Structure 1
Amino acid sequence: MPKAVRLHEYGGLEVLKTEDVPQPVAAAGQVLVRVKAAGINPGEASIRKGVFKDTWPSSFPSGQGSDFAGVIEAVGEGVSSTQPGAEVIGFTHDRASQAEFVVVPQEQVTPKPANVPWEVAGALFVAGTTAYAAVNAVDVKQGDIVAVSGASGGVGTIAVQLARLRGARVLGIASPERSEWLAAHGAEPVPYGDGLRERLEAAGPIDAFIDTYGQGYVQLAVELGVAPQRINTIIDFGAVKQYGVKSEGNAVAGRAEVLAELAALIADGKLEVPVARVYPLSQVQEAYRELEDRHTLGKIVLMPEEA
């Protein structure tokens, strides 16, 4: 029997299990994908802990994960957009990607460019489409000064690069250890911590602010004079209500055509998705332990042992 990550209750890392599950079967309009790589995301940890159970409740036993890349194993009746053996990048809305197999509607996969590595492709959907939506939300334009908090995280690293591709001057707020990576990707590193406000003020009037970290960055952006319509947070929903800023993310841009656009940028060498570490599916607890420390550069990825 194939294996998949399963949760039987809300809780800490200890509730994450890798268990045998029935073999999924593609129904009409669906494709069955043998998963080669599946990214993990902070939102999944919050859902597991029950933080969002009133908004996005879980039914147990529950699977986990949205991102994946893999090979089409079988197609259901009426599928014409792909065929068995095709390499694809995709997403699921059923919390099911952290597994050896996943079934999704055919419109939720797009071809994987040959030169995009599996671990990069499997980590792309949530972080990539969230960053894409955030950059669009604050209307980044040529010559803008754009600040990005959490600039070395999964979403932040991509947002930095997408803003640079639009011709913006990007201030990347992160730990000093990430300065080299940020500078190499066209951003101006700005260390977080004491004196951050003064460092940002010295960099010039900020036109737009993308918050991927929370913990007061929206308030800081407002205090720096950034217009609320040019502030976007993907995490601080209390600040959205308080200050009237935007909160656009994966729900806005989570489409196969956006995924294809981002994959093409990677294939062309215009976008990098840094992968901090790859874990086997059986080490899902260890993978989330590292993720929840919030100190990684880029993404953490699960790969089924037989991938």
Structure 2
Amino acid sequence: MRAVTFDRFGPPEVLGVGSVPEPHAGPGEVRIAVRTAGVAPVDLALRAGDSPSRDSLALPHIPGVDAAGVIDEVGAGVMDHAVGDEVFGAVDVARLGGASARFAVLAFWAAKPAGWSWQEAGAAATGVETATRALDLLGIADGQDTTLLIDGASGGVGSIAVQLAVARGARVLGTGRPGSHDFLASLGATPVDYGPGLAERVHALGIPRIDPALDVAGAGSLDELVALAGGSESVVTLADFTGPARGVRLSLGRYGGQPDGCHGLERAADLAVRGGFRVPVQAVFPACRAAEAHTAAAAGPRRGKTVLDLTGLTPHI
């Protein structure tokens, strides 16, 4: 099958389109004819060789964790979906390879909401899983009177976390550059300027302290977040590996099998059907421009996800 691949670690230019063996669905898995695949931070790190998984990654490698498409093969034990169903989900990168290909095997998935474009669906799964996991760790419960600060709220995961937290009833303060403030407000957040001096800007809003805080950006704000939240136990980071040394929980995704929080996919899909959730997409590129997609995903300002359109690799759909 045709796929986006890289056979050495390096800059986006190592990406190309080549031929690789087809994967097949094992027990508890489905294979999809891929329509779209998201470009996530983990994809950039794996390609660059900056991921802890570098030494265990077989080359050539197909990038991409998130994908959406039409099921064309169902593994043993799968009872809730069938061939022909439209779904979105994520692959097990270590075992099954990546998603930017004609076919991909999903480790977890949910039905694609009819109102979502393929671009939205292809960008959704790991952002939803990551945001759901973080909100659960922070104890953001339905109907609870909570003020949550999300640092780095306009990017792919942050923009999803804002909406899921708002849907649970939280008041959300979201940091971003001034040009992203209208975007953040459209998601339901109160925008706050990004960068040093965050505590003063939050206090200027008449908010003496926040309840929990979520660090998505990994930009060195943990000390301020801990002070604002009244303690390290009220902060979770998704991107700052110095967190544990400060007593802050570092939450990392697991893409093998059923990860914690994968139930979030079905809840997000239900919210989308009711008009309460969307997946912001900043840019879409065809597979032949995968290097440009990776460059765009790494650049700022981020207002949603970067997506690869794989339909050029799937002539039968």
TM-score calculated relative to the size of structure 2? 0.88
Q: Is the 8 A contact 1:33 1:103 kept in 2?
A: yes
Structure 1 residue 248: deviation in Å?
Answer: 2.5
Contact 1:70–1:89, Cα closer than 8 Å, also in 2: yes
Partner Cα separation in structure 2 for residue 56 and residue 259 of structure 1? 30
1:136 shift after superposition: 1.4
Is the Cα contact below 8 Å between 1:33 and 1:74 reproduced in 2?
yes
Q: Distance between the aligned counterparts of 2:53 and 2:34, measured in 1? A: 30
What CA distance in whole angstroms lies between the structure 1 residues aligned with 2:177 and 2:276?
A: 24
Q: Report the CA distance shift for 1:172/1:60 in structure 2 as closer, same or farther (over 3 A).
A: same
TM-score (norm 1): 0.91
- Check conservation: 2:113, 2:273, Cα contact below 8 A: yes
Contact 2:129-2:265 at 8 Å conserved across structures: yes
1:170 is matched with 172
For residue 68 of structure 1, what is the aligned residue in structure 2? 67
- Using the TM superposition, give the Cα deviation of residue 24 of structure 1 relative to its aligned residue in structure 2, in angstroms: 3.1
Alpha-carbon separation, structure 2, partners of 1:132 and 1:199: 27
- How far the C-alpha of 1:201 sits from its partner, in A, is 2.5
C-alpha distance in structure 2 between counterparts of 1:169 and 1:255, whole Å: 22
- Asked if residue 81 in structure 1 is aligned to residue 80 in structure 2, the reply is yes
Query: In structure 2, do the counterparts of structure 1 residues 244 and 28 end up closer, same or farther at CA, with 3 Å as the change threshold?
Result: closer
**Counterpart Cα distance in 2 of 1:127 and 1:117:** 16
Residues 1:120 and 2:123 are matched in the alignment: no
Matching of residue 296 in structure 1 with residue 298 in structure 2: no
AA aligned opposite 1:231: V
What does the per-residue CA deviation read over 1:197-250, in whole Å, with 9 as the maximum and x for residues that have no partner? 310222311111110001211121123353212101000011x22211112253
Residue 266 of structure 1 corresponds to 272
* d(CA) in 2 for partners of 1:71, 1:289: 28
Secondary structure of 1:224's aligned partner: helix
1:91 alignment counterpart: 90
1:246-261 aligned at under 5 Å gives the runs 246-251=249-254, 256-261=262-267
Q: CA deviation at 1:29?
A: 4.9
Q: Which amino acid in the other structure matches residue 154 of structure 1?
A: G
Q: Which amino acid aligns with 1:51?
A: D
1:11 corresponding residue in structure 2: 10
Instruction: Give 1:129's aligned amino acid.
Output: E
1:215 equivalent in structure 2: 219
Unaligned runs of 5+ in 1: none
1:223–1:257: structure 2 CA closer, same or farther, 3 Å change rule?
Answer: closer
Q: What CA distance in whole angstroms lies between the structure 2 residues aligned with 1:172 and 1:28?
A: 41
SS in 1 for 2:263: helix
Contact 2:46/2:54 (CA < 8 Å) preserved in 1?
no
Change (3 A) 1:249 1:296: same
Counterpart CA distance in 2 for 1:74 and 1:195 is 52
Q: Secondary structure at the match of 1:45?
A: helix
Shift, 1:18, TM fit: 1.5
- Give the CA RMSD over aligned residues: 2.2
Write the distance in 2 (CA, Å) between the matches of 1:29 and 1:14. Answer: 35
1:190 matched residue in structure 2: 192
Number of corresponding residues: 303
Is 1:150 aligned to 2:152, yes or no?
A: yes
Unaligned runs of 5+ in 2: none
Structure 2 counterpart of 1:43? 42
Question: What residue number does 1:136 align with?
Answer: 136
Deviations 1:156-191 (A, max 9, x none): 111111222222221110011111122222211111
The reply to whether residue 279 of structure 1 matches residue 285 of structure 2 is: yes
| Identity of matched residues, % | 36
Which residue is equivalent to 1:109? Answer: 109
* Whole-angstrom distance in 2 between the partners of 1:118 and 1:187: 26
> How far off its partner does 1:275 sit?
0.6
